[in-house]
Amino acid sequence: MNLNEVKEISSKFLLETYAPSSVAFVRGEGSKLYDTEGREYIDFGSGIGVCSVGYNHPRYSKALSEQIHSLLHTSNLFYNPTQALLAQRLITLSGYDMQVFFANSGAEANEGAIKLARKYGEVHFSKKRYKIITLSSSFHGRTLATLTATGQDKLHPSYFSPYPQGFVVAKDLSEIYSLVDEETCGVMIELIQGEGGINALPKEEVQKLYEFLQERGVLLIVDEVQSGIYRSGELFASHHYGIIPDIITTAKGLGGGVPIGAVLSKHKGIFQAGDHGSTFGGNYLSTQAGLSVLEILSELHHTQTLKATIECFHAHLQTILEQYPQHFCKKVGVGLMVGLVAVSEEVQKSIISEALKNALVILRSGKNVVRFLPPLTISKEEIKEGFERLRGVLEGMR
Ligand SMILES: Cc1ncc(COP(=O)(O)O)c(C=O)c1O
């Protein structure tokens, strides 16, 4: 199928929720993508932080094909060894004393976390606690509850109302203190805000908030849907912050392209059979994908290969920042969840669209950040080639 055919069929048969760029990829290898016309792209986006082990990774592809030829799904009516092993692996690697629930996406993981926090608030206190506080530049998903939890006003048009009750938005971390009351069961934050502008929250402020919440029995829910699974250089961004959240949610990079979400909770006895569930959640395909991703990435982490990749990527970003002050004013982010703050929204948009024309995939974040979420397995050569293509774009904009 050529691009025009894909566009024609898509516009006729798909509900209009996206505004896709004029490219359709049909194949990938390493950190390179190939479009319908056979053109090769360097991928600094990994499908918005999902393709953590790149494309056609030999071990990942082998593990998935073996699983496909064996068993994909049985439902959660039965024990599932692959699901059990992934939960064990996640917890062991995290070093946290937690238990896991598997869902199918980030929003769904956050829904699970909200339900868990509300039940905790009901069970543990004489007066029911149900309110969840979130931050104004957050993003937590597109279901009704997670959309309400998402602080960005532009995502709350009146035509979706009424929105669920019990969500309170704080303009920043410091406002949370005055918003916590006797009905608050949890505070949900991204330690590194992904959609809101690659904004890493200050460590000391997070630690202070964590202590404040712990003293009051208010749960800290850390949304690591984007920052989790080694994207920050550690399994969870929480590890950089020296805190053990009450609940962690994760998704994207865990499946490497197969949909999966996970809720990790240190409060183990809250959910009981029948409280929560999912038909697909934790099935053989997605949990085998998760096991393979963790095997590959924990090895990269252990051998310090990931650290070297991160240092290489940051060095290139720093050079770009210094060479093009007319386009960028700051480098932001942690690990391979990074961005360059463009001088304006207009500059941001044109860099991203010109990069795509120059066979480089990069992403937007917030109003004016050019976001980079490359596969964590990206090679130094692919990084170098990608930045050369970016330089080509920036030179043309001088
Ligand atoms: C921090 C965060 N939470 C939740 C979500 C929603 O995840 P999903 O699109 O898988 O539902 C996203 C998606 O970008 C995200 O970045």
CA separation for the pair 51, 20 (Å, rounded)? 18
Instruction: Say how many Å lie between the CA of residue 231 and the centre of ligand 1.
Output: 14
Tell me which residue of 252, 289, 284 sits closest to 375, measured CA to CA.
252
Q: Angle CA(16)–CA(249)–CA(101) in degrees, nearest 5? A: 100
Tell me which residue of 324, 292, 302, 318 sits closest to 372, measured CA to CA.
318
Check: CB of residue 349 under 8 Å from CB of residue 370: no
Backbone φ, ψ for residue 121 (5° rounding)? -65, -30
Check whether residue 127 and residue 265 sit in a common domain.
Answer: yes
Last residue of a domain, one of 302, 330, 349: 302
Write down the H helix ranges in 303-379: 305-323, 345-357
Last residue of a domain, one of 302, 326, 357: 302
CA separation for the pair 117, 270 (Å, rounded)? 9
Check whether residue 11 and residue 147 sit in a common domain.
Answer: no
Query: How many domains is the chain built from?
Result: 2
Note down the domain range covering 169: 71-302
pLDDT in tens, 136-145: 999 999 999 9
Instruction: Say how many Å lie between the CA of residue 141 and the centre of ligand 1.
Output: 5
Check whether residue 245 and residue 112 sit in a common domain.
Answer: yes
The reply to whether 63 falls in a domain is no
Interhelix angle 58-68/284-302, rounded to 10 degrees, is 160
Residues forming a β-bridge with 371: 339, 363
Instruction: Say how many Å lie between the CA of residue 388 and the centre of ligand 1.
Output: 30
Which ligand 1 atom is nearest residue 105's CA? 10
Distance of CA 243 to the CA centre of its chain: 19
Which ligand 1 atom is nearest residue 193's CA? 1
What tens-digit pLDDT sequence spans the chain (398 residues)?
Answer: 999 999 999 999 999 999 999 999 999 999 999 999 999 999 999 999 999 999 999 999 999 999 999 999 999 999 999 999 999 999 999 999 999 999 999 999 999 999 999 999 999 999 999 999 999 999 999 999 999 999 999 999 999 999 999 999 999 999 999 999 999 999 999 999 999 999 999 999 999 999 999 999 999 999 999 999 999 999 999 999 999 999 999 999 999 999 999 999 999 999 999 999 999 999 999 999 999 999 999 999 999 999 999 999 999 999 999 999 999 999 999 999 999 999 999 999 999 999 999 999 999 999 999 999 999 999 999 999 999 999 999 999 97
Check whether residue 129 and residue 81 sit in a common domain.
Answer: yes
Check: CB of residue 396 under 8 Å from CB of residue 335: no
Helix or strand run (H / E) with residue 110 = helix 106-123
Check whether residue 321 and residue 352 sit in a common domain.
Answer: yes
Instruction: Say how many Å lie between the CA of residue 221 and the centre of ligand 1.
Output: 14
CA separation for the pair 142, 61 (Å, rounded)? 30
Instruction: Say how many Å lie between the CA of residue 107 and the centre of ligand 1.
Output: 6
The reply to whether 66 falls in a domain is no
Which residue has a Cα nearest atom 4 of ligand 1?
140
Kindly list the protein residues whose Cβ atom lies closer than 6 A to any atom of ligand 1: 105-107, 110, 139-141, 190, 194-195, 223, 225-226, 251
For position 398, what pLDDT does the model report? 72
For position 351, what pLDDT does the model report? 98
Last residue of a domain, one of 276, 302, 328: 302
Check whether residue 102 and residue 38 sit in a common domain.
Answer: no
Q: What is the DSSP string of 230-269?
A: TTTSSSSTHHHHT---SEEEE-GGGTTTS--EEEEES--S
Structure tokens at 22: 């004029």
Pocket test for ligand 1, best of 189, 252, 286, 373 (most atoms within 8 A of CB): 252
